[in-house]
Structure 1
Amino acid sequence: MSIDLPVWTELRDRAVAWPVESSESIFEGNVLSMTREQVRTPSGELLDREVVGHPGAVAVLALDADENVVLLRQYRHPVGHELVEIPAGLLDVTGEDPEHAARRELAEETGLAASDWHVLADIATSPGGNREVVRIYLARGLAHADRPEGFVVEGEEAHMSVGRASAEAVRDAVLAGDMANPAVSVGILAWFSAGRDVTRLRPADSPWPMRERRVGRA
């Protein structure tokens, strides 16, 4: 059965800003904030929207020479689970380049460095109410490295474990519903969708328009 819908030839998110008529701060936390905003639609309707501010984040799908994925187990209190994840962290250092942040997070959380970097995917994790955007990198050419000077393991990270599993096993666990972290899910599926071919990926320093648009609006 055919369906009568237009075929889109341009598949690209478009930067659009409906007018914000008012904005009220509801909460300011260490990482997150929340505002209540009145947004006017193109037809003139006023919408009340609660928006969670977030500085953005980076994540790293790191592969060793045998294409095993470097993984973490970390407790996540809001969902009441210890999740299997990939190294990741906030873009909370003022002016820090995302690629540099990804390299720093990989070293901090795993004691590893990588010589070959590409972008796997950019995602908006919950665009209906949260400004968080995440860039997921592919990192290869792994080697042991010192953790950055001054880095202190604390909080949930003090109870985190590090290991590895084959890329196929990670993919299969995601498809089976056994792993729910969005960065590892999108990252591993993007890697297989690219045919595990880095020539189909973007350079590590590629523009990130959604992040650049949100800088200063955390």
Structure 2
Amino acid sequence: MATPLEDVHGERFTRSSEVVFDGKIWDVRTEVFTLTEDGDPITREYVDHTGAVSIVALNDDWQILLIKQYRQPARMTMWEIPAGLLDVEGEDVQTAAARELAEEADLVAERWNVLVDFHNSPGSSSEVQRVYLARGLRPVPEEDRHQREDEEAEIEVGWFDVQDAVEAVLAGRLHSPSAVVAILATAAAQATGFDHLRPADAPFPEDPTKPENARHDITPEARQQVTSAPDRG
């Protein structure tokens, strides 16, 4: 039987986990784990991320909305898709997507589908993103629009044909990971008439807003107590 083309969920053996840098937006966590129960310990540090959501806004002329914004770590002004952190307590992922679309693009959408889910940099960050496809667009009334600040105050908005955006990706002119993933996924979905897209409430096992997906500190001493506790069964 061929190996299924599907990522496999399931944590190995985490021996210790603790935040070593408490940042303004996200933290750095160090963990010790083993690949097998009696395997050699491996230590890794990574960005303990809140998770994010992003949106492909597609109009009736088959154009995708891109926003232009400066990114200090990359030293680049990039064309991106509307996106934001999942950092509002109690807010579900689709609601966050609708909020970000309104705040960054001044748009409201009537139809939502899941386009793609991805981990931004799984070797160095816990960040996971859900990308939605938003259609049936209308503008947010002028009096209700969000007041943008900092880098967002410079946002420029543009509408681009999907194929032109694909060509920009393949030519190396676009670098934002969410934009690259979303543009290519949109083109693939468009080729099949968007028939196979998941509904907006499709299962999201990696959903970082769920308590069961939260990272918690596990000191070596606490882990030792768990693994050495007598069987009470």
Calculate the TM-score normalised by the size of structure 1: 0.90
Cα distance in 1 for residues equivalent to 2:213 and 2:90: 9
Asked whether the equivalents of residues 71 and 78 of structure 2 are also in contact (C-alpha less than 8 Å), the reply is yes
Q: Does residue 113 of structure 1 match 2:108?
A: yes
For the residue of structure 1 that corresponds to 2:25, the secondary structure is: coil
Q: Does residue 25 of structure 1 match 2:14?
A: no
Cα distance in 2 for residues equivalent to 1:179 and 1:86: 11
For the residue of structure 2 that corresponds to 1:109, the secondary structure is: helix
Distance 1:148 1:176, change over 3 A: farther
Cα distance in 2 for residues equivalent to 1:168 and 1:41: 43
Cα distance in 1 for residues equivalent to 2:43 and 2:173: 36
Distance 1:37 1:119, change over 3 A: same
Q: Which amino acid aligns with 1:201?
A: L
Calculate percent identity across the aligned residue pairs.
41
For the residue of structure 1 that corresponds to 2:9, the secondary structure is: coil
Residue equivalent to 1:63:
58
Asked whether the equivalents of residues 162 and 186 of structure 2 are also in contact (C-alpha less than 8 Å), the reply is no
Cα distance in 1 for residues equivalent to 2:18 and 2:90: 26
Which of 134, 148, 157 is 1:153 aligned to? 148
User: C-alpha displacement at 1:150, in angstroms?
Assistant: 8.9
- Structure 1: segments with no counterpart, 5+ residues: 1-5
Which of 6, 10, 25 is 1:12 aligned to? 6
78-87 or 197-206, larger mean C-alpha shift: 197-206
38-47 or 80-89, larger mean C-alpha shift: 38-47
Residue equivalent to 1:34:
28
Q: Does residue 143 of structure 1 match 2:141?
A: no
User: C-alpha displacement at 1:190, in angstroms?
Assistant: 1.1
Q: Which amino acid aligns with 1:58?
A: V
Q: Which amino acid aligns with 2:214?
A: G
Distance 1:35 1:60, change over 3 A: same
Q: Does residue 134 of structure 1 match 2:125?
A: no
Residue equivalent to 1:199:
195
Cα distance in 1 for residues equivalent to 2:35 and 2:8: 16
Asked whether the equivalents of residues 19 and 40 of structure 1 are also in contact (C-alpha less than 8 Å), the reply is yes
Cα distance in 2 for residues equivalent to 1:17 and 1:77: 33
145-154 or 106-115, larger mean C-alpha shift: 145-154
For the residue of structure 2 that corresponds to 1:210, the secondary structure is: coil
Residue equivalent to 2:214:
216
| Per-residue CA distance 1:25-60 (angstroms, 9 max, x = gap) | 211112110111111221511001102111111111
Asked whether the equivalents of residues 108 and 147 of structure 1 are also in contact (C-alpha less than 8 Å), the reply is no
- Structure 2: segments with no counterpart, 5+ residues: 217-233
Matches within 5 A, 1:72-91: 72-91=67-86
Q: Which amino acid aligns with 2:21?
A: F
Q: Which amino acid aligns with 1:27?
A: F
Distance 1:54 1:149, change over 3 A: farther
Which entry has the higher C-alpha Rg, 1 or 2?
2
For the residue of structure 1 that corresponds to 2:73, the secondary structure is: helix
Q: Which amino acid aligns with 2:200?
A: A
For the residue of structure 2 that corresponds to 1:177, the secondary structure is: coil
